[in-house]
Amino acid sequence: MINDKLPKIWYGGDYNPEQWDAPVWAEDERMFKLAGIDVATINVFSWALIQPSEDTYDFSSLDQLMDRIYKNGTYVCLATGTGAHPAWMAHRYPEVTRVDVKGRKRKFGGRHNSNPNSPVYRKFAAKLAGKLAERYKDHPALVAWHVSNEFSNYDYSDLSEAAFRVWLKDRYGSLDALNKAWNTRFWGHTFYDWEEIVLPSELSEEWDGNRTNFQGISLDFRRFMSHSLLECYKIESDAIKEHSPNVPVTTNLMGFYDELDYFEWAKHMDVISWDNYPSLDTPVSFTAMAHDLMRGLKNGQPFMLMEQTPSQQNWQPYNSLKRPGVMRLWSYQAVARGADTVLFFQLRRSIGACEKYHGAVIEHVGHEHTRVFRESAELGKELGQLGDQLLDARSAAKIGIIYDWENRWAINLSSGPSVALDYVNEIHKYYDALYQQNIEADMIGVEENLFKYEIVIAPVMYMVKPGFAEKVEAFVKAGGTFITTYFSGIVNENDLVTVGGYPGELRNVLGIWAEEIDALLPGMSNEIVMDKAWGNLSGSYKCDLLCDLIHAEGAEVLAEYGSDFYKGMPALTVNNFGEGKAYYVATSPEAEFLKGFLANLCADKNIQPLVAAPEGIESVQRVKEGVSYLFLLNHTTGDLSSDIGATERTDLLTGNKVSGSAVVPARGVLILSDKK
């Protein structure tokens, strides 16, 4: 569990009492008890209050809050306050504010506006974190540390440029190695002095966000900035651990956020936490995939749902309300997929500035007689009744889907073949095909042990890093099933093409050669035509986006293209390699094809759906000490039934015994334990 002071699913969220006068605090305390709130995340943006000047610290208000919160029966996830630097710091030390991609020097304002490579910023941030840890390390309310908030935003200042050169020297050792890695003889870019290297901004190599003349330079810059921001996290975490080594330290991640390599960050976090903000029309399978990614960052370790809204966001184009029951439903979706906390932003609504319309447990009306508060209190009561039963329960998935941030960066930066290629969307197609059939999958990184799984899926594995191809070959040779797709095996870790024919280092295990890649215009499509019926697949299926023109080199052709000048060329192949099989999907197929294709592979490996259920039911399993906890979540507005088999299970939420056909109420949840 996260901290044995509180052996249950934590319930609460961000609390900003500094925005209110003391009489409101007493009312908050009363309502927290009504709602079952047991954890408050405080001090997220309080740097300016705690440190009103360079040499002055004032902890009196925070001392009072820590004591009051604990006296009320609530624990504290204590933030370091460094999510926004004080105005005095930016005024006295202008270097602490960022320079943006257009070369504009930012002034004080907003948040996430700090230069991660400013020694001044780092010094003050580490000092504050250390002082907080020294002061509160033994406070009975403390259960976790929260460093800064939603780390983000690249910097293009002279300080970062100088730090980039140092980082490059460490990475490459010599200019000869760097010039080779970046292919700088293209367009006469050869560097003869480290000082000649500049950041890839709109003043040099980049435009329109991810457009760049030199992919290698821009790719390394993203690695460097992820590293720079991680260093800011680490200096605060290290300062905390000097005084408080046994209290877990985290920071709130943001799912599939593009700019930071969270697999690298996870190595330095005691527990993963993240902020989940789907919109009304976000596919529930996409949210499920994001939860699974957060779980996968630390090899399946349960995570913290650090933020979600009880009702609505304020920053999306259309900030729809969560319909009755949805907040509870989505909270249990997080728990089902590995969350050991259910926390909100925010506990009381702000009255001013840009988040005053962001949902909260306590609305502007200020009392408990609201729909949102009633739903929050009901959920708090349920989570209290669950106790510690689900804590530390793990996934038992036999399928791993590979996601890699550096691969995503390289695809986004690629000059071709199609602006419509969206790496995350293509991964979601495969994930969703399993989700719709109630088949579990883990989201994993390229460093994960593949032998934990029967099937490994790596859509659009454009970049093949050192050792990955050998790992795949060993996995398949030992009996594993590996699937990859079009636009895979093209480049190495420096975004240099692997010569000798696509898919490069994966060519041997796949038994194919991809000669050309055709990009289809919007509205264009081709067909995947099955040579003969194969399990759940027969006839023809639509495909679009990209079509690899491939030749079988030992692989068996299972399907062909149905039109255009490459009609009859392979669209789906399988290569028997050792004891296992490697599949190549040469295009982007429609959903029905993927469902049938993956169902065939699961049947071959005897991987069964968790339940037989209609569309709209999400099924997830967590396992702990030999006990299976089967979650059934109904994402529709009508009651639905699922066949859970003959084994009798107990619903943890009602105590009812269930077997055979289980009825899940509209927007309802069952948590079914097989414990005897």
The verdict on whether 625 is a catalytic residue reads no
Cα distance between residue 643 and residue 214, in whole Å: 54
Q: For residues 543, 545, 551 and 557, what is the CA-based torsion angle, rounded to 10 degrees?
A: -20
- Beta bridge pairs of residue 82: none
Catalytic member of 205, 236, 307, 440: 307
CB atoms within 10 A of CB 470: 11
3-state secondary structure of 208: coil
Q: 401, 560, 582: which is closest to 475 by C-alpha?
A: 582
Residue reference for tokens 């699937």 = 483
Q: Long-range contacts made by residues 512-515, C-beta under 8 angstroms, separation at least 24?
A: 512/550, 512/551, 512/552, 512/553, 512/555, 512/570, 512/573, 512/575, 512/584, 513/550, 513/551, 513/553, 514/486, 514/548, 514/549, 514/550, 514/586, 515/549, 515/550, 515/551
Cα distance between residue 364 and residue 622, in whole Å: 38
Do residues 478 and 444 touch, judged by C-beta distance below 8 A? no
Q: 154, 88, 86, 146: which is closest to 115 by C-alpha?
A: 154
Which residue blocks in 137-259 are alpha helix, DSSP H?
A: 158-172, 175-182, 215-243
Phi first, then psi: what are they for 232, rounded to 5°? -65, -40
Residue reference for tokens 């793990």 = 394
CB atoms within 10 A of CB 184: 18
Structure tokens belonging to residue 206? 């980049």
Residue reference for tokens 């592979």 = 601
3-state secondary structure of 575: strand
The CA distances from residue 59 to 43, 44, 63, 71, 588, in Å, are 11, 14, 6, 18, 57
Cα distance between residue 400 and residue 132, in whole Å: 40
Do residues 156 and 99 touch, judged by C-beta distance below 8 A? yes
Which residue blocks in 496-621 are alpha helix, DSSP H?
A: 507-510, 591-604
Share in percent of the chain as helix, strand, coil (round to 5): 30, 25, 45
Do residues 14 and 345 touch, judged by C-beta distance below 8 A? yes
Do residues 97 and 62 touch, judged by C-beta distance below 8 A? no
The DSSP H or E segment spanning 583 is strand 580-585
Phi first, then psi: what are they for 526, rounded to 5°? -130, -170
- Beta bridge pairs of residue 576: 581
Evaluate the omega torsion of the peptide bond into residue 503 and state whether it is cis, within 30 degrees of 0.
Answer: yes
The verdict on whether 307 is a catalytic residue reads yes
Catalytic member of 150, 205, 382, 560: 150
Evaluate the omega torsion of the peptide bond into residue 346 and state whether it is cis, within 30 degrees of 0.
Answer: yes
- Beta bridge pairs of residue 60: none
Judged on CB neighbours under 10 Å (0-12, 13-18, 19+), 362 is buried
Catalytic residues: 150, 307
